[in-house]
Structure 1
Amino acid sequence: MSDTPEAPFEPDPEPWHPPEDDADELPTDRAVLEIPQPVRPIDWNSLSAEEAEAEWRDLDEWVDWLRRTYGLPATIVPPLWHRHDELVWELSALQTHWRECYDPNSSGSAPLQWHHDFTEARARLREWVSTCGTRIDRDRPTRQTPWPGEADAGTTAENPIPNRRADFEQFLAEDAAARKSTK
């Protein structure tokens, strides 16, 4: 510590202003002008057919990476996850969280937070898979419990899964047709 008193703070007499740019010197290359978009959650209910197809393919690729990277069994990520809304919403949220945590501008500890949250998400996924009843080799629509006054939807038969990739492509076509018919 010094015995000399500190000089009082004096603001700059002139406020700082950014230098003026000449508009003719602005970059015109599209790649240079692109601003990275922030990570955003996907609202699957509001997508157009074209937007949905791109998002479905992106999520499918990420889910495939996730299950292979972490060795996830079908009791957590089953082959026909895309046919079960509860799994779609959970996996989509997990993907969004992963992207946010692994963004180059995230904090260094964000990946640890993702792994912590991934542990909880795996428990929820296991519960969703158990509830909906989909398996590695067969699938059925998620059973709906009717409320008093609603008609019972009845039981739905399980269908074998001969080819997961073919089913996904069929699902995309069905999803696009349904989205186009509601517009």
Structure 2
Amino acid sequence: MTSSNDPEKAVNLDSLPPEVLQQVRRIVQAEYAKDLRKQLGAVPRAINWRTLTPEDLEHELLELNAWVDWLRHEYGLPAQVIPPMWHRHAELRWELSALRQHWLTCYDQQAKGNMGVVWHGEFALARERLRDWVSISGTRLDRDRATRITEWPGGEAEDFSAPDTTERPVTDRNEDFVAFVTESVRARQAEQDAAMQEILEDEREE
């Protein structure tokens, strides 16, 4: 056993002391495992949009946006399934995010050969759910309004305020998406700062 294809530089591994040979093998295995992880990537996980850090929130929104854009073009999906302003509706973000993570899992290099069929089966069901969400939300190709929330008598928090459901025209979707990402990241940063401030205040009191 040698460590090089160049005869002049080749090292006879069998001549190494057992403990050195074992250490070399450990190093090679670690490098192989690291390279394999790099090639295969991380296993896709479900995304909890409520707990992402500001940085992760921005990253995941941009990734989801790119994938949804590919999806609607690849499958010729109408606005009744994926409307331009899907990003403004939490129910659509959750549904599309779950669909994307499932797609990443099914088309992973380690996935079984039948997983493409599995994904398309789930995709068919997801399209029906998306139609329902779009119908409920009221967003359309050329206009958008916030999803209405039915207020429960005596069942809402004191600081709850119903969303403004005024209908607005869709003029520049990409510009609105950028604005949405900026607003979302800023709001999440404010939430994170408030949580950190609360922790610091608790520590001071102790």
TM-score tier after normalising by the smaller chain length: 0.7 to 0.9
Supply the RMSD in Å over aligned alpha carbons: 2.4
Letter matched to residue 178 of structure 2? E
Structure 1 residue 37 displacement after superposition: 1.1
TM-score by length of 2: 0.73
Structure 2 equivalent of residue 94 of structure 1:
99
> What are the within-5 Å matches in structure 2 for residues 119-158 of structure 1?
119-149=124-154, 150=156, 153=162, 156-158=165-167
Structure 1 equivalent of residue 119 of structure 2:
114
Higher helix share: 2
> What are the within-5 Å matches in structure 2 for residues 22-171 of structure 1?
22=24, 25-26=27-28, 32=35, 34-35=37-38, 36-149=41-154, 150=156, 153=162, 156-171=165-180
Contact 2:146–2:163 at 8 Å: present in 1 too?
A: no
Q: String of CA shifts for 1:31-89, please: whole Å, max 9, x gaps.
A: 73754311111111111111111110000000000000010000000001011000000
Asked if 1:174 corresponds to 2:176, the answer is no
TM-score by length of 1: 0.82
Structure 1 residue 23 displacement after superposition: 7.3
**Alignment gaps of 5+ in structure 1:** 1-18
Q: State the number of aligned residues.
A: 165
Cα distance in 1 for residues equivalent to 2:163 and 2:190 = 27
Structure 1 residue 148 displacement after superposition: 1.9
